[in-house]
Chains A and B, each alone.
Chain A
Amino acid sequence: MTSALKSLWRRLVGRQQWEREMDDELRFHLESRAAHLVSQGVPDAEAARRARVEFGGLESNKELCREASWAARVADETARNLRYAVRSLLKHPGFTAVGVISLALGIGANLAIFSLVERLLMTSLPVRDPQTLYQVGRMKPEGLENTHSYPHFETLHRHTDIFEGVLAWSQWNREVLTNGHKEKLMVAFVSGSYFPVLGIDARIGRTFTEQDDRPGGANVAVLSYAAWQRFFGGAANAVGQFLDVEGFRFQVVGVAPAGFEGTVIGEPPDVMIPLHGNLAFNKNAISAEGMMWLHALVRLKPGVPLSTARTVFRERGIELGKPKRAELGRLDPATGGVIEDGSRGYSDVRREFSQALLVLMALVAVVLLIACANLATLLFVRGAGRAGEMSLRLALGASRGQLIRQWMTECLLIAAAGGVAGILLARWIVDLLLVFIGEEGRRYLQFHNERNWIIAVVLTVATSLLFGLLPALRASNATPGVTLKDFQSSVLGRKRRLARWVLTLQMAASLVLVTGAALFVRTLWNLNTSTGGVARSEVVFANVRFARDAGPPAGTLDEVVERLQRSPLFVGVSLGRTPLAGGRSWSWATVPGYTPRPVEDNIVYKVETAPGYFRATGIPLLAGRDFEEKERVWPPHVTVVSESFAKHYFGDRNPLGTKVRVFHTDDQTEIIGVARDAKYSALREVPCDVAYYPGVRSVNGTILARPKNPENRAGAIEEIRAAVTAATKNARINTGTLEDVIQKSLRRDRLVAQLSAVLGIMGILIAAIGLYGAMAYEVARRVREIGIRIALGANSWQIVRTTIREAVVVTGIGVLVGIPTSMVAARLIQPLLFEVSPSDLTIFVVPAALLAISALLVAFGPARRASRLDPVQSIRCD
């Protein structure tokens, strides 16, 4: 007997027979041994007993036999499967390349986005009980508004029945002289409660207590572990030394433990100073009611449920330091005074990107799904092509399980290659993402390798199961002994139906991707063409600051502005807040004769200006007049309010001349003008109530200018710079165009638009490959039939039509499923859209048409080839 036939025979015999044979063999041994012993003179009964004793544990040895046999078989089969799979994959380089590349892109993109999602959204602060930390603030369409003034921070402190502790901080880059090194470091001004509430003990020395953070407290500092290592080499005598922060001396009292990186994700402070230490830099910081310079976290009291805390917090009307005045309405309970998760600390990047990353996560998951569906389709096609091979192998005695294992080995091999390539790709994709997020992202969004390996392995196995199992089950379903031709006609019909469903799913998923991309690209377009109510493409700014006590007398900058105003180069020059820039200050508006509804937002945003501000920024005055030079006093006697403010409090009445309270002062401020609504801090915000006021003449400020020729903004900036340098010494000038500021604020929208466009194209490409593969196979399978039809007189168009029909059906159903799915998805991503209506049908129809056209184009290739078949050749071939 040859060994091939023998192994075949062995496979055909069942497990029971195998067991019986083993029993027979071992019994034969025992009996032979007993007979041998008898022949040596041992009595019969004793011989049988001795034989068994010598043999040792019968059952345990049987088990060892089973194992030896099984393990060897598995190892053997796996090696054979691998060899076979490699050979088979190399034989189909096109299929293999498509599989590996599409999976690599899919897995790589998933890994990359996930690593960012994990770092930004899933990592808790390394402090005591991070899950009981919360942020408090006001919910705005753009996200939680969670900046606080010092007086409000103190108010929060008083609610000891719901909060166990409250901590606040504010951190800035400041020039620090440490042990002889002078450089910009991250300096955090932290409340006395900061370390105790976070539960962080000093590594050496001590941290702060409430005693350090009060008026007249000593100027003390705590170093981060990293700063301690860097500047003092980890020496214990660092405690007691002095640092110099922009000219002010602080004594080091302790070092924070290693691993503590503060409460702002990605911006670990190097030096920590009590909040009152900030008085050295800003004398108003502690008392100013309207200065929102603090971030805060509260720790919920143990045993107080979150829902209770939320209700209590709102009912007390303590939202955001709102003063208790009868003239003020309550904030909307759904948006005012909310308590939100703070376990992951504070992060501007997260605030800005979390939704976008989740959407991208969903998009890349869809891409991976399409890649899997695509491989499944191609495998179905190949499976049908290999039906003959399968039924032959079944006839030769291979079990169904073996065929499935064989098939899955190929899938796993493709997936493994895709996974490895994906891991390599992921690094690049993360780098690409960081280009969009900006350099500040690079500091902390490193690629977390260990965990990514696990995820990569899970993704690899899951995807190979996803795309391999169904076709494998189908293909192994062949019946031995059935001829290839019979097989194709009987079983293939069912198989092709399943393949068609997978193709349809692929089409629908790519349509969702493309529509998503269209929505985001449209959003970016809208944002780029929206003016925000200012002369966005014309305004330039120059922020001028002087080192402490090194600046010129107050008003020097105003003289520079007056000189520039006379220049023929400009339409307008002024000083004030840059529109749409970060940073905000607000207060509460009270208008005589106006009774607020029970729930109403009376917040008013404040904008510091100077005469000429409206001309310089291109915000038109709708009524009234501009400020005059003599009105530049604090507190201001006059204000210009926004259109929204006027409508809110006056309706159709004329607001001019009315005295209102808008600036945290008891003084009544007269409305002298109404300006058209301009966006305050973001293009996508809804117009808000704004009060403009004339700022006093001071040392530092931001010059805003609108050149006559908007093309020459660079020249205008140079002109301003030259004027400032001519009038002052040692000015630190930071210049730019308003467009730059806006473009920077659109980085998230650019990221999402560009990435989703790439993913959409990828989705279409992969789906097209799948469709092409299926069509090409279909034509190849029906060569003879098509040949006969051509011979019988069918014209090319008829042939093209019948071949292309399947593609049309698949695409049609895909589109029908895809459009409503896209509509649902569009509602989910609504917060990321801008002036795109999810009920606008064109945004859904155009991508669908695009997809349908590309699908038909792809299908047309094989169909055309079919129509050009030579009938004689094709009938002969099989």
Chain B
Amino acid sequence: MGKHAELLPGTLDLLILKAVSLSPQHGYGVLLRIEQITKEALSIDQGALYPALYRLENKGLLSTEWGVSENNRRAKYYELTAAGRKRLGEEVEGWNRLAAAMSAAIKAKPEGA
């Protein structure tokens, strides 16, 4: 278990899209999935998760459906829409570019040393 890192602004959407892309999830499932795929390195504010889900749903990136949970309870499941899948691709690509640029920047050494 590593130290908890703060979430960069804007990255929560990406994480949610990624988590949901693997399989449809209810809200709590999304939380668990994010913890799992980030190896619990990122701390997610549980309360903030839902406004983000609602926003993504209303942007048409997620669709919802009520289903039955693993413990036989009624739960709302989130699923990626076609637009959501496209957006996830874009976000991943953008993130990779940023990450590459950042790590290159950090590794830079003084010139002519």
Q: Using a CB–CB distance below 8 Å, which chain A residues touch chain B?
A: 1, 3, 6, 21, 24-26, 28-29, 31-33, 35-36, 54-58, 60-61, 64-65, 67-69, 72-73, 76
What are the residues of chain B within 8 A of A26 when measuring CB–CB? 27, 50
Residue of A with least CB distance to B47: A56
Task: Tell which of B45, B55, B58, B74 touches A28, judged by Cβ atoms closer than 8 Å.
Answer: B74
What are the residues of chain A within 8 A of B32 when measuring CB–CB? 36
9 A-B pairs with the lowest CB-CB distances in the bound complex, closest first: A72-B58, A56-B47, A64-B51, A68-B55, A61-B47, A32-B28, A68-B54, A68-B51, A65-B54
By the criterion CB–CB under 8 Å, are B65 and A1 in contact?
Answer: yes
Q: Which of B61-113 contact A (CB under 8 A)?
A: 63, 65-66, 69, 71, 73-76, 81
By the criterion CB–CB under 8 Å, are A55 and B47 in contact?
Answer: yes
Task: Tell which of B63, B69, B76 touches A21, judged by Cβ atoms closer than 8 Å.
Answer: B76
Given contacts A3-B63, A76-B58, contact A25 B76 (CB under 8 A): yes
B1 at the interface (CB under 8 A from A): no
CB distance from B18 to the nearest CB of A (A): 19
Given contacts A25-B76, A28-B69, A58-B47, contact A69 B58 (CB under 8 A): yes
B7 at the interface (CB under 8 A from A): no
In Å, the complex CA distance between A55 and B44 comes to 10
By the criterion CB–CB under 8 Å, are A76 and B59 in contact?
Answer: yes
By the criterion CB–CB under 8 Å, are B26 and A28 in contact?
Answer: yes
Q: Using a CB–CB distance below 8 Å, which chain B residues touch chain A?
A: 26-28, 31-32, 45-48, 50-52, 54-55, 57-60, 63, 65-66, 69, 71, 73-76, 81
What are the residues of chain B within 8 A of A21 when measuring CB–CB? 66, 76
What are the residues of chain A within 8 A of B47 when measuring CB–CB? 55-58, 60-61
What are the residues of chain A within 8 A of B26 when measuring CB–CB? 25, 28
Jot down 24 A-B pairs with beta carbons below 8 A, ordered by A: A21-B76, A24-B74, A24-B76, A25-B26, A28-B27, A28-B75, A29-B46, A33-B28, A35-B71, A58-B47, A60-B47, A61-B51, A64-B51, A65-B54, A67-B51, A68-B52, A68-B55, A68-B58, A69-B57, A72-B55, A72-B58, A73-B58, A76-B58, A76-B60
CB distance from A634 to the nearest CB of B (A): 93
What are the residues of chain A within 8 A of B54 when measuring CB–CB? 65, 68-69, 72
What are the residues of chain A within 8 A of B48 when measuring CB–CB? 56, 61, 64
In Å, the complex CA distance between A67 and B54 comes to 9
In Å, the complex CA distance between A24 and B75 comes to 8
Task: Tell which of B59, B74, B81 touches A3, judged by Cβ atoms closer than 8 Å.
Answer: B81
Given contacts A21-B76, A25-B27, A28-B27, contact A56 B50 (CB under 8 A): no
By the criterion CB–CB under 8 Å, are B60 and A3 in contact?
Answer: yes
CB distance from B84 to the nearest CB of A (A): 11
By the criterion CB–CB under 8 Å, are A65 and B51 in contact?
Answer: yes
CB distance from B54 to the nearest CB of A (A): 4
In Å, the complex CA distance between A64 and B28 comes to 18
CB distance from A439 to the nearest CB of B (A): 59
In Å, the complex CA distance between A31 and B73 comes to 10
Residue of B with least CB distance to A73: B58
Given contacts A25-B75, A33-B46, 11 further A-B contacts (CB under 8 A): A3-B60, A3-B63, A24-B76, A25-B26, A26-B50, A28-B27, A28-B28, A54-B46, A61-B48, A65-B54, A76-B59
By the criterion CB–CB under 8 Å, are A55 and B55 in contact?
Answer: no
In Å, the complex CA distance between A576 and B23 comes to 105
What are the residues of chain B within 8 A of A54 when measuring CB–CB? 46
By the criterion CB–CB under 8 Å, are A25 and B46 in contact?
Answer: no
CB distance from A539 to the nearest CB of B (A): 81
CB distance from A565 to the nearest CB of B (A): 95
In Å, the complex CA distance between A58 and B63 comes to 23
What are the residues of chain B within 8 A of A58 when measuring CB–CB? 47
In Å, the complex CA distance between A73 and B74 comes to 26
CB distance from A319 to the nearest CB of B (A): 76
Residue of A with least CB distance to B71: A35
CB distance from A54 to the nearest CB of B (A): 5
Residue of A with least CB distance to B55: A68
Given contacts A35-B71, A72-B55, contact A61 B28 (CB under 8 A): no
CB distance from B105 to the nearest CB of A (A): 34
What are the residues of chain A within 8 A of B81 when measuring CB–CB? 3
In Å, the complex CA distance between A6 and B52 comes to 20
CB distance from B71 to the nearest CB of A (A): 7
By the criterion CB–CB under 8 Å, are A6 and B58 in contact?
Answer: no
Given contacts A3-B81, A28-B26, A33-B28, contact A72 B51 (CB under 8 A): no
By the criterion CB–CB under 8 Å, are B50 and A61 in contact?
Answer: yes
In Å, the complex CA distance between A28 and B50 comes to 12
Task: Tell which of A3, A29, A56, A57 touches B28, judged by Cβ atoms closer than 8 Å.
Answer: A29
By the criterion CB–CB under 8 Å, are B50 and A65 in contact?
Answer: yes
Residue of B with least CB distance to A63: B51
What are the residues of chain B within 8 A of A57 when measuring CB–CB? 47
CB distance from A733 to the nearest CB of B (A): 81
Task: Tell which of B59, B63, B66, B76 touches A72, judged by Cβ atoms closer than 8 Å.
Answer: B59
What are the residues of chain A within 8 A of B51 when measuring CB–CB? 61, 64-65, 67-68
What are the residues of chain B within 8 A of A68 when measuring CB–CB? 51-52, 54-55, 58
What are the residues of chain A within 8 A of B66 when measuring CB–CB? 21
What are the residues of chain A within 8 A of B63 when measuring CB–CB? 3, 6
What are the residues of chain B within 8 A of A65 when measuring CB–CB? 50-51, 54
By the criterion CB–CB under 8 Å, are A56 and B71 in contact?
Answer: no
CB distance from B85 to the nearest CB of A (A): 13
In Å, the complex CA distance between A35 and B75 comes to 15
In Å, the complex CA distance between A25 and B67 comes to 11
CB distance from B74 to the nearest CB of A (A): 7
What are the residues of chain A within 8 A of B65 when measuring CB–CB? 1
In Å, the complex CA distance between A54 and B73 comes to 22
By the criterion CB–CB under 8 Å, are B46 and A55 in contact?
Answer: yes
What are the residues of chain A within 8 A of B73 when measuring CB–CB? 28, 31-32
In Å, the complex CA distance between A54 and B28 comes to 13
What are the residues of chain A within 8 A of B74 when measuring CB–CB? 24, 28
CB distance from A76 to the nearest CB of B (A): 7
In Å, the complex CA distance between A396 and B81 comes to 22
In Å, the complex CA distance between A67 and B51 comes to 8
Residue of B with least CB distance to A35: B71
What are the residues of chain B within 8 A of A73 when measuring CB–CB? 58
Given contacts A72-B58, A72-B59, contact A56 B45 (CB under 8 A): yes
CB distance from B1 to the nearest CB of A (A): 14
In Å, the complex CA distance between A106 and B27 comes to 55
Interface centre among A21, A58, A72 (most CB of B within 10 A): A72
Task: Tell which of B46, B55, B76 touches A56, judged by Cβ atoms closer than 8 Å.
Answer: B46
What are the residues of chain B within 8 A of A60 when measuring CB–CB? 47
CB distance from B43 to the nearest CB of A (A): 10
In Å, the complex CA distance between A193 and B71 comes to 95
What are the residues of chain A within 8 A of B59 when measuring CB–CB? 72, 76
In Å, the complex CA distance between A791 and B85 comes to 62
CB distance from A34 to the nearest CB of B (A): 11
What are the residues of chain B within 8 A of A33 when measuring CB–CB? 28, 46
Residue of B with least CB distance to A57: B47
What are the residues of chain B within 8 A of A36 when measuring CB–CB? 32
